[in-house]
Chains A and B, each alone.
Chain A
Amino acid sequence: MKAWFNQHRRALAVTAGRAARAPFAHLFQVLVIGVAILLPLLLHLAVQNLQRLGGTAQADARIALYLAPEATGKDADGIAARLKAHAQVAGYRFVSREEAIKDLRRIHDIADLVDALPKNPLPDAFIVRARSTDPGEIDALRREAAQWPKVALVQLDSTWAARLDAGLRLARALAAGLAALLAVALLAIAFNTIGLQVANRREEIEVCRLIGATHGFIRRPFLYAGTLQGAAGGLIACALAALCVIWVNRQLPGLAALYGTELVVQPMPLQDVLAVTGFAALLGWLGAWLAVSRHLWRDGPG
């Protein structure tokens, strides 16, 4: 056990020594790996954020019931009673025509225009929150409410959410495909860089074999190199993705203000950073294992 520990400690020291002797070459190799991972990572981040946005939109799916201009307070109470008793309604809020025009003045900064109107053109309304997020059930509620007396118009815009959902599904499939392709590319990068290191150390490997080194002993420093390069590449990709998120979040407020909303791109959670780093390390290890094994198999077991 102690001998095994000593061999691993030595392999790590050898790996660190080799990296220290050629720091720029190693840095650029890690950068190449990092940039290769960055592309699918950004796509994954974009999909996650759009999904969150779509999820929020669907969770907040609201139906607006606009009452007829002649509807009285008693009519409004009748509709409120129907909404309260309805199984598909999670909640509702009555927005009087006075409240609605106040909101219009405040939100859209068009007070002058509103003041110029001869009378309040807005109707009383109910904003209904559906219990279900299923587009079909929400639409059924919309159709039912449209039949109620003194209801002039029922509005539900769920089409965009359905389109977003379809788009997200496509983007997720693209991200998965791209990630698979780049996993192969990462494997090839690790295989090539470690393969070059193996070729440069051919004589050393031969000497080690002659004096009793096992394949495990010969492989170990290269496996550490591949694993550490992969992990460092993964971390660099996550750091670059975080910088991209910061940059995008600086640009977003201007765009979000135009839509009267707040948009913030969420950074990668820690478990995703760990997963990306671990996956990149695993691919680095696998590429290195294949590169060294190819050399060892070619030269035979002895």
Chain B
Amino acid sequence: MIELDRVGKRYPASQGGEGHDALKSVTLSIDSGEFAVITGHSGAGKSTLLKLIAGIELPTSGTVRVNDQDLAGSRRALPFIRRRIGLIFQDHKLLYDRTVFDNVQLPLDITGFPPREAARRVRAALDKVGLLSRERERPVTLSGGEQQRLCIARAIVHRPSLLLADEPTANLDMEYAQDIVEILRSFHQVGVTVVVSTHDLVSLRAAHPRVIALSHGMLARENAP
């Protein structure tokens, strides 16, 4: 499902200087249906790796293939590749001038879903994350944990085969973090590939994930589930 072949990512220096290698020759593959956790210290390259898999960033060297498609060679196809991916962001990236319902409906609007079927799917996704009763509210009225669950609802409403979550439990207390992990685990159990970048391995231990550890932009170790 996901194949990285000697992937490097170098960010240019903002003012002169040498620039910075976020990833150095990383090679790994994640199979369909896996629950993988990318972990490591701050600046290890976790978020960069996730962005490369989502096609938000393109590698400086090497190739990233998702569902057998080379992302760097399919820039025009990127929107359509992303439609098969569910993205969960650390900062949620919600639209605060729209309701909870409208936020979740957005991916279905993008694919031109019929309104009635879209409404049914939105309510099912909100029900799954326990926010159905809040559908008419604005995201600003939700707590941090609820906003993260809203972000998950938006990521799953179009039934993607791959879920990418960047630090989904960051800034959440233990109880909320467990909720999020349980939701991710439930998707994994129905066959969705889940890739999470985090430094909070404790919360995710219950999901028995495959752990991919990065250090200074390189693959440090891998633990099978």
User: Do these two chains really belong together in a complex?
Assistant: yes
**Nearest CB of chain B from residue A5's CB, rounded to whole Å:** 8
Instruction: Please report which residues of chain A, range 1-16, place their CB below 8 angstroms from some CB of chain B when the two chains form the complex.
Output: 2-7, 10
Which of chain B's residues have a CB closer than 8 A to the CB of A4?
112
Task: State whether A301 and B75 are in contact (beta carbons under 8 Å apart), knowing that A210-B56, A210-B82 are contacts in the complex.
Answer: yes
Tell me, rounded to whole Å, the shortest Cβ–Cβ distance linking B90 to chain A: 13
Cβ-neighbour of B110 out of A5, A206, A217, A301 (below 8 A): A217
* Interfacial chain A residues near B113, Cβ < 8 Å: 3, 6
> Given the complex of chains A and B, what is the CA–CA distance between A206 and B54 in angstroms?
14
Contact among B55, B56, B76, B110 with A208 in the assembled complex (CB-CB below 8 Å): B110
> A96-110 CB contact bits vs B (8 Å, 1 = yes)?
000000000000000
| Interface: B122 (CB within 8 A) | no
**How long is the Cα–Cα vector from A203 to B94 in the complex, in angstroms?**
9
A230–B23 alpha-carbon span in the complex (Å): 49
In contact, B75 and A210 (Cβ under 8 angstroms): no
Residue of B nearest to A217 (CB): B110
Partner of B95, one of A3, A10, A207: A207
Q: A206-B93, A302-B58 are in contact. Are A10 and B80 (CB under 8 A)?
A: no
A302 to B75, Cβ gap below 8 A? yes
Once the chains are docked, how many angstroms separate the CA of A4 from the CA of B109?
A: 10
A266 to B15, CA, bound (A): 66
Q: Which residues of A contact B87 (CB under 8 A)?
A: 210-211
Tell me, yes or no, whether B78 is within 8 Å of chain A by CB.
yes
Contact of B106 among A6, A211, A214, A301 (CB under 8 A): A211
B12 near A: Cβ within 8 Å? no
B93 is contacted by which of A10, A210, A214 (Cβ under 8 Å)? A210
> How far is it, in angstroms, between the C-alpha of A3 and the C-alpha of B110 when the chains are bound?
9
Interface membership of A252, Cβ < 8 A:
no
Taking a contact as CB atoms under 8 Å apart, the answer to whether A10 and B78 are in contact is: no
* A150 beta carbon closer than 8 Å to chain B: no
Q: Which residues of B have CB within 8 Å of A217?
A: 110
Q: Is B111 an interface residue (CB 8 A)?
A: yes
Give every chain B residue within 8 A of A206 (Cβ-Cβ).
93
Nearest-CB residue, chain B, relative to A204: B95
Is the pair A212, B111 in contact by a Cβ cutoff of 8 Å?
A: yes
Question: Is there an interface contact between B107 and A2, defined as CB atoms closer than 8 Å?
Answer: no
Q: In the complex, A217 Cα to B58 Cα: how many Å?
A: 23
- Report the minimal beta-carbon distance from A9 to chain B, rounded to whole angstroms: 8
Q: Which residues of A (258-298) have their CB < 8 Å from a CB of B?
A: none
A3-B111 in contact (CB<8A): yes
Kindly list chain A residues whose C-beta atoms are within 8 Å of the C-beta of B83: 211-212
A209 contacts B by Cβ under 8 Å: yes
What 0/1 readout, one digit per residue, does chain A (1-33) give for beta carbons within 8 Å of chain B?
011111100100000000000000000000000
A57 at interface by CB-CB < 8 Å: no
B154 at the interface (CB under 8 A from A): yes
Contact A6 B75 (CB under 8 A): no
Please tell me if the beta carbons of A2 and B75 are within 8 angstroms of each other in the complex: no
Q: Which residues in window 108-148 of B have CB below 8 A to A? A: 109-115
A211-B58 CB under 8 A given contacts A6-B112, A302-B75: no
A243 surroundings in chain B (CB, below 8 A) = none
Alpha-carbon gap, A79 to B56, bound state (A): 95
Q: Mark A195-233, 1 if CB is under 8 A from B, else 0.
A: 000000001101111111110010000000000000000
**Once the chains are docked, how many angstroms separate the CA of A230 from the CA of B21?**
49
- Decide if B79 is an interface residue (CB 8 Å cutoff): yes
Question: Once bound together, how far apart are the Cα atoms of A208 and B112, in whole Å?
Answer: 13
Chain B residues with CB under 8 A of A6: 112-115
Closest-by-CB residue of A relative to B118 is A6
**Cα distance A68–B113 when bound, in Å?**
91
- Can you list, as one digit per residue, whether each of B72-91 has a CB less than 8 Å from chain A (1) or not (0)? 00011011111101010100
On chain A, the residues within 8 Å of B93 by CB distance are 203, 206-207, 210
Contact assessment for A302 and B56 in the assembled complex, using a CB-CB cutoff below 8 Å = yes
Extra 14 A-B pairs, beta carbons < 8 Å, given A203-B95, A204-B95, A302-B58:
A3-B113, A6-B113, A7-B110, A207-B94, A209-B79, A211-B82, A211-B106, A212-B79, A212-B81, A212-B111, A214-B80, A301-B75, A301-B78, A302-B56
Question: 6 A-B contacts, Cβ less than 8 Å apart?
Answer: A2-B112, A3-B113, A4-B112, A10-B112, A203-B95, A212-B110
Query: Lowest 10 A-B CB distances belong to which pairs?
Result: A3-B112, A212-B83, A212-B82, A6-B112, A7-B112, A214-B79, A212-B79, A213-B110, A301-B75, A302-B78
